[in-house]
Structure 1
């Protein structure tokens, strides 16, 4: 079904013995439903001369059985030159029409009404999320028009229809469908900025007409956010940026810092998007790795290796074997047993077990324990329920659980990473924002 949404201006319905834009679109597109939007002035003109009813009767009697449904939206808009006054009512009226006919093809008349009405309809036509076609109609004089307008006191719609030259079989079709490329580009830019602010890189990457360098950078950020490190580096290898995507301090020892830092960046993005459930689930394995790294440093001062206390500490699933801890650090083992109130059992390494071991080890950095405690409290409060059901978590719940807002907690985790790994350059922690600012500078 084809639907026409149109305002009625002072060239409608017929002016100078030629179709006005509204009637010309009806003539050449034959919509089944015609929705006419009237300002207060236009409604008064139509009421005085019954113009729309006269046009509908003429069409039904002279256009080979064509009988469209006419709908009229009468408003009390006093000043149709006020963008704020016309924008919302027009948008709402179009939305109501599309909601009633969700599968209909909507035509928007871009040539009738005040300039502000035309702008509002042009924005709707340029909206890439909607299936609408903007139609413009050129004046038959190929200029602004010199004939008497339809709001003149002596205007007669019946006389104009009777002598309408566009009724002739060979009358030209003055309709066209502008591409509205500038407005579409502006809408696309606004959409990109919105997606960039929420860091939805997957959605941005699917957008058309992105410059190659920006598309590669977006691809890099998307892959990196998905922890696809190889793909991220492939995207990055040909990028020429005024900053490093992987800032790191030189002369640093080899470690698991690259994986830890990338996992931390993912947490920052999840917090930025308020995806707190995923943030909490991903926080646990990261904190365990930080705890093990801290443990490694402290044990080195006792001439012990991490693998003397933790089985397979550098694997994907390190194991806690009680006998190993009891053999190398009996006092620590006893303290941890006392806390749990029972002999310890072999298990996968957990955040809490690591925290309790560190709690009873000497020389653990003073600043490390408070943030680990907060992470442990959050884990105890939220993670178990999240692991077994779809549970929404709010920032307020996180604050109540650990005493810090999500951003504050992650900021403390970032400081802990920087203190543990000498190769850490804190500039890395703002890399997504820096890339976002760079992208904005290239499209604004």
Structure 2
């Protein structure tokens, strides 16, 4: 008698999430396989050891449908970097080849291409497109096209409770399985690439690919990607216009100057994450100047604009008439040994005022550090042909790029910008929302 076999990587939505089947369990529910091979990375193995959750749910399903399902776990304890495509492609080829050797004529192999990491899904998609092996690739949409963002804490995962409350246990459950066809497979592979670009903050590349597969990516999804493109460009007017159309809120800081400062800082952090260290260094100068100005106003109650004018070229300069006879003018003259010239307004002029009027010694130390860092590496990078690396920054400043950014975060709070720890993860949260939409239910049916 012909048998039906399922090979399934295990991901974070398995076996049950938000009280609905994860992809692996949902495929088991529909196709009722005779045997299931579960592929577990190091992280998923830990969950398996905790409560046997994957096997337990298959066994409970087996009891419910009145059919025995054999389960074999394939453990990969060495798999901790689960984003390397090449590793999975070779491993999956070997596993599926071995499974096919044991299959008889008439047996059917189903492969779950919806669970696991993006690298796992990509590897299986490529194998399906190349048709090297005879298996049926099955995708599973999220319930009603909703995202899987609001998951349960795996530490508190109660598998028995989740099984009992799984809404898909109802007789009239919604079938969310989709057997991927050849044309759709290529689109799915491109969707995978889009998601990878989004998660690596390369939004323009993601948008370019999205425009190639109009039948699989909705206009709303493309608009979300475009929001990310414009946000990284700091184009707040366009971002606000598009966000209003989408009726979602992705911007944690709303106030004008504070928003500009915070969004600029987030964009700088992305430079670090992408290894664009030269751009990160170049971006420090305007940031430290704006930070100094806001700190002077927030911590010292001094608005530097009260002592400035706008010249005929539209540039802000110190105004001698407004400065004369003030304590601020005396402080600046002392700082520059009597040679203060009321020209440009920048960090070099504002930091001495912070040192004079602030009583926060920690703040003074931090702002001195960021000013010294900015002046040292900016001048070197601007006047020499150098390869700016993490090591180069550490050597020249004594700080890593991440340590420099921690200084920036501290100073932003001191500048009066009200931000939480979660706000600093704003881009990653935005990425999660976009990826969940791109992988959503509706796009798979177009």
TM-score by length of 1: 0.52
Encode CA deviations 1:2-60: one digit per residue, 9 max, x unaligned.
Answer: xxxxxxxxxxxxxxxxxxxxxxxxxxxxxxxxxxxxxxxxxxxxxxxxxxxxxxxxxxx
Query: Which structure's residues are more often helix, by fraction?
Result: 2
Correspondence for 1:284: 285
Q: Is residue 211 of structure 1 aligned with residue 234 of structure 2?
A: no
Residue 219 of structure 1 and its aligned partner are, at CA, apart by: 0.7
Give the whole-Å Cα distance in 2 for the aligned partners of 1:86 and 1:411: 41
- For residues 182 and 320 of structure 1, do their structure 2 counterparts lie closer, same or farther at Cα, with a shift above 3 Å needed? same
Contact 2:309/2:318 (<8 A) preserved:
yes
- Deviation string for 1:121-173 (max 9, x for gaps)? xx99x87xxxxx9799xxxxxxxxxxxxxxxxxxxxxxxxxxxxxxxxxxxxx
Aligned to 1:436: 431
The aligned residue for residue 50 of structure 1 is none
* Structure 1, unpaired ranges of 5+: 1-82, 89-114, 116-122, 128-132, 137-177
Q: Are 2:241 and 1:246 aligned?
A: no
C-alpha separation in 2, matches of 1:220 and 1:85 = 38
1:181 aligns with 2:183: yes
Give secondary structure in 2 for the equivalent of 1:319: strand
- List aligned pairs for 1:11-410, cutoff 5 A: 84=90, 180-207=182-209, 208=213, 209-241=216-248, 244-248=249-253, 256-300=257-301, 305-312=303-310, 317-320=315-318, 325=323, 327-329=325-327, 330-338=329-337, 343-359=339-355, 361-388=356-383, 391-410=386-405
Relative contact order: is structure 1 or structure 2 higher (C-alpha 8 Å, sep ≥ 6)? 2
Instruction: Give the Cα separation in 2 of the matches to 1:425 and 1:86.
Output: 42
CA change 1:312–1:328 in 2 (3 A) is farther
Moved more, 203-212 or 322-331: 322-331
The DSSP-based 3-state class of the residue aligned with 2:325 is helix
Contact 1:319 1:346 (C-alpha < 8 Å) held by counterparts: yes
Is the alpha carbon distance of 1:322 and 1:429 closer, same or farther for their aligned partners in structure 2, counting shifts above 3 Å? farther
Structure 2: tracts of 5 or more residues without a match: 1-88, 95-108, 110-121, 133-179, 441-446
**1:346-385: CA deviations, max 9, x gaps?**
33223223223322x1325333223322322222222124
SS state at 1:256 partner: helix
Whether the 8 Å contact between 1:398 and 1:405 is mirrored in structure 2 is yes
Higher mean Cα deviation, 400-409 or 384-393? 384-393
SS in 2 for 1:206: helix
- What is the CA–CA distance in structure 2 between the aligned matches of 1:316 and 1:270, rounded to whole Å? 30
Within 2, Cα distance between the matches of 1:337 and 1:281? 26
Whole-angstrom CA distance in 1 between matches of 2:366 and 2:315: 23
- Determine helix, strand or coil for the equivalent of 2:387: coil
Paired with 2:206 and 2:92, the residues of 1 have a C-alpha distance of: 32
How far apart are 1:389 and its partner, in Å? 5.9
**Deviation of the 1:306 alpha carbon:** 2.4
Residues 64-107 of structure 1: CA deviation (Å, up to 9, x unaligned): xxxxxxxxxxxxxxxxxxx849979xxxxxxxxxxxxxxxxxxx
* Number of equivalenced pairs: 273
**Of the two, which has the highest radius of gyration?**
1
Shift of 1:327: 3.0
Is the contact between residue 374 and residue 403 of structure 1 (CA under 8 Å) also seen in structure 2? no
User: Matches of 1:364 and 1:325 in 2, distance apart?
Assistant: 23
Q: 1:323 to 1:344 in 2, by over 3 A?
A: farther
- Distance across 2 between alignment mates of 1:264 and 1:337: 30
Q: 2: CA distance between counterparts of 1:430 and 1:180? A: 37
Look up the SS of the partner of 2:275 in the other structure: coil
Change (3 A) 1:319 1:188: same
Q: Matches of 1:417 and 1:433 in 2, distance apart?
A: 20
Distance 1:422 1:276 in 2: 25
Cα separation, 1, equivalents of 2:245 and 2:335? 52
Cα distance in 2, alignment partners of residues 348 and 429 from structure 1: 32
Q: Are the aligned partners of 1:288 and 1:350 in contact in 2 as well (CA < 8 Å)?
A: yes
* Distance of aligned partners of 1:309 and 1:202 in 2 relative to their CA distance in 1, 3 Å threshold: same
SS of the equivalent of 1:292 reads helix
